Amino acid sequence: MPMRKITLRNGTELPVLGMGTWNVGDCTERRAEEIASLRAGIEAGLRVIDTAEMYGGGRSETLVGEAIDGVREEVFLVTKVLPSNASFEGVRRACRNSLQRLGTDWLDLYLLHWRGGVPLAETVRGMESLRADGVIRDWGVSNFDVDDMEELEELGGFCAANQILYNLEYRGVEFDLLDRDRVAGVVNMAYSPLGQGGELLHHPVLDGIAARHETSAGAATAAQIALAWVLRRGDVLAIPKAGTMSHLRENLLATELELTESDLAALDGAFPPPRRKTRLAMI
């Protein structure tokens, strides 16, 4: 089954599944497997690799740079700037440092990691200057709620994406943010789509649904059900961590699954959708 695509405002088509790198690069013993996993993902068509200057104090970017060496043109590379570096000059300096660690001359997408004390107008000015210089193709934000996105829109510019926490345990963005961004042409990127700490993946409802599904490699897993649920919308790009070959294969197989109406109803019962506006969750 061909993987579904999502389209950015500039017309770039991307697979709805990418690869996250939080905590990747922190352990010397795992380095070779982490690089191999990212390379295998690229070969399998997972173009999007997401990292950040914050991850491991730059170690994640350095590892990603090694993983994409020689295949940079095949990768849609995303990294993020800390809010403490989000001034006009700070954004430009942080971007240069990220480029050096990543071993590349350009970024496909550069995100403000979360909103801090620097005025948004100054950050946007810095992002637009980087885009004008050709060192970033697009820019966006992360962990922005509806009011933040509305303020950003008033400033103009070309915000391409909003990276947010979205999984079965954190569905608050379904109340308004997902639809708001979709109408505005902003792609939502879901980080931690499998939850945190593994508790979500031990839920009996997920196990029960997994028992009714199969992939080309055999019985489905709870993790694959959780990921298929995030991907069900078609307008969200998920970036689960891909630090091992086994996790990468499991993530890829999740794209084969189609959840039924009864599956979705069972998940709604176990993880109710929001009925009111809630504060945007972030980790």
Q: Which of 55, 110, 166, 170 is catalytic?
A: 55
Number of C-beta neighbours around residue 61 at 10 A: 29
Three-state DSSP class for residue 89: helix
d(CA 167, CA 170): 5
Which pair of tokens denotes residue 22? 């939080």
Please give the structure tokens belonging to residue 44. Answer: 């399998």
Q: Is 113 annotated as a binding residue?
A: yes
Tokens of 136: 């970033």
User: Does residue 110 carry a catalytic annotation?
Assistant: no
Residue found by looking up tokens 């191999």 in the block: 36
Phi, psi of 115 (to 5 degrees): -80, 135
Q: What is the dihedral of CA 157, 161, 162, 166, to 10 degrees?
A: 170
Binding residues for substrate: 113
Active-site amino acid positions: 55
